[in-house]
Amino acid sequence: MKDISKSINKVDNDEKISGSAKYIADFVMDGMLYAMTKRSTISKGEIVKIDYPQLPDGYYIINHKDVQGKNVIKVIFEDWPVFTDKKISYLYEPIMLVIGPDKNILTQLLDSIQITYKEETPLFDWTDSVIDYHFDKGKGNRIFDQADKVIEHTYHTGYQEQAYIEPQGFIGYPEGDKTTLIGSIQCPYYVKNAVKQAIGEKDENVRVIQSTVGGAFGGKEEYPSLIGCQLAVAVKKIKKPIKLIFEREEDMSVTTKRHPSKTVFKAAIKDRKIIGLKAHVSIDAGATIGLSGVVLSRALLAVSGAYTVDHLDVSGNVFRTNTVPNGAFRGFGAPQMFFAVDMFVEHVAKELNQDPLEFRKKMLVKQGDRTSTNGLFRDPVLMPEMIEKAIKESNYLKKIEDYSKKGNYKGIGMSLFYHGCGFTGSGEKDVIKAKVKLKKDKNKKVYILVAAVDMGQGVKTTFRKLISHMLDIDIKDVIYHNPDTDFVPDSGPTVASRTMMIVGGLLARAAKEMKKRWNEEEFIVMKEYEQPDYIEYDEKHFIGDAYPAYSWGVNIVEVEVDPVTYQVDLKKAWSVYDAGKAIDERVVLGQADGGLAQGLGYGYLEVMNHKNGKIMQKNMTDYIIPTAMDLCDMDTFLFDNPYAYGPYGAKGVGELTLIGGAPAIAKAIENAIGKNVFKIPVTPEYIMELINHD
Partner 1 sequence: MKSYIAKNLVNALEVLNKDECEIVAGGTDMLIQNRSHTGMSIGYKTNVLYISLIKELDYIKEDSHYIYIGATTKLESILKNKITPIILKKIIHEMASPAIRHTATLIGNIANASPAGDSIVGLYALNAKVRCQCINGERIVPLHKFIRGVRIIDLKFNEMITEVIIPKNDFSSIAFKKVAPRKSDAISKMSFVGLLKIEDDLLLDLRIALGAVYITVVRNKDIESKYIGKNIKELKENIDNILKDYEPLIKPIDDQRSNKEYRKKVALNLIKDFLLNV
Residues that bind partner 1 (CB under 8 A): 25, 36, 103-104, 107, 245, 247, 564-567, 605, 607, 616-617, 621-622, 624, 626-627, 629-630, 684-685, 688, 692
Which C-beta is closer to partner 1: that of 243 or that of 469? 243
Q: Residue 523 is inside which H or E element, if any?
A: strand 523-528
Q: Residue 152 is inside which H or E element, if any?
A: strand 149-157
Instruction: Report the relative pairing of strands 478-479 and 446-449 from DSSP bridges.
Output: parallel
Which C-beta is closer to partner 1: that of 36 or that of 510? 36
Which C-beta is closer to partner 1: that of 574 or that of 604? 604
Residue 486 burial (CB < 10 Å; 0-12/13-18/19+)?
Answer: middle
Q: Please, what is the minimum distance in Å from the beta carbon of residue 78 to partner 1?
A: 32
Which C-beta is closer to partner 1: that of 105 or that of 473? 105
Q: Please, what is the minimum distance in Å from the beta carbon of residue 616 to partner 1?
A: 4
Cβ 490 vs Cβ 434: under 8 Å: yes
Q: Please, what is the minimum distance in Å from the beta carbon of residue 638 to partner 1?
A: 29
Which C-beta is closer to partner 1: that of 25 or that of 29? 25
Q: Please, what is the minimum distance in Å from the beta carbon of residue 106 to partner 1?
A: 8
Which C-beta is closer to partner 1: that of 103 or that of 481? 103
Q: Is the dihedral of CA 246, 248, 253, 258 positive or negative?
A: positive
Q: Is the dihedral of CA 175, 180, 182, 186 positive or negative?
A: negative
Residue 469 burial (CB < 10 Å; 0-12/13-18/19+)?
Answer: buried
Which C-beta is closer to partner 1: that of 132 or that of 689? 689
Q: Please, what is the minimum distance in Å from the beta carbon of residue 622 to partner 1?
A: 5
Which residues lie closer than 8 Å to 642 by C-beta, 6 or more apart?
Answer: 580, 581, 648, 649, 650
Q: Please, what is the minimum distance in Å from the beta carbon of residue 111 to partner 1?
A: 12
Which C-beta is closer to partner 1: that of 243 or that of 464? 243
Q: Is 407 left (phi over 0), alpha (psi -120 to 50) or beta?
A: left
Which residues lie closer than 8 Å to 65 by C-beta, 6 or more apart?
Answer: none
Determine how many CB atoms are found less than 10 A away from the CB of residue 280.
Answer: 18
Q: Please, what is the minimum distance in Å from the beta carbon of residue 689 to partner 1?
A: 8
Q: What is the C-alpha separation between 231 and 199, in angstroms, rounded?
A: 10
Which C-beta is closer to partner 1: that of 20 or that of 565? 565
Q: Is 229 helix (H, G, I), strand (E, B) or coil?
A: helix
Q: Is 464 helix (H, G, I), strand (E, B) or coil?
A: helix
Q: What is the C-alpha separation between 370 and 83, in angstroms, rounded?
A: 46
Q: What is the C-alpha separation between 590 and 668, in angstroms, rounded?
A: 24
The CA angle 644-593-394, to the nearest 5 degrees, is 90
Q: Please, what is the minimum distance in Å from the beta carbon of residue 398 to partner 1?
A: 28
Instruction: Report the relative pairing of strands 33-39 and 60-63 from DSSP bridges.
Output: unpaired
Q: Please, what is the minimum distance in Å from the beta carbon of residue 243 to partner 1?
A: 10
Q: What is the C-alpha separation between 16 and 1, in angstroms, rounded?
A: 31
Which C-beta is closer to partner 1: that of 21 or that of 632? 632
Q: Please, what is the minimum distance in Å from the beta carbon of residue 662 to partner 1?
A: 16
Which C-beta is closer to partner 1: that of 165 or that of 688? 688
Q: Please, what is the minimum distance in Å from the beta carbon of residue 563 to partner 1?
A: 8
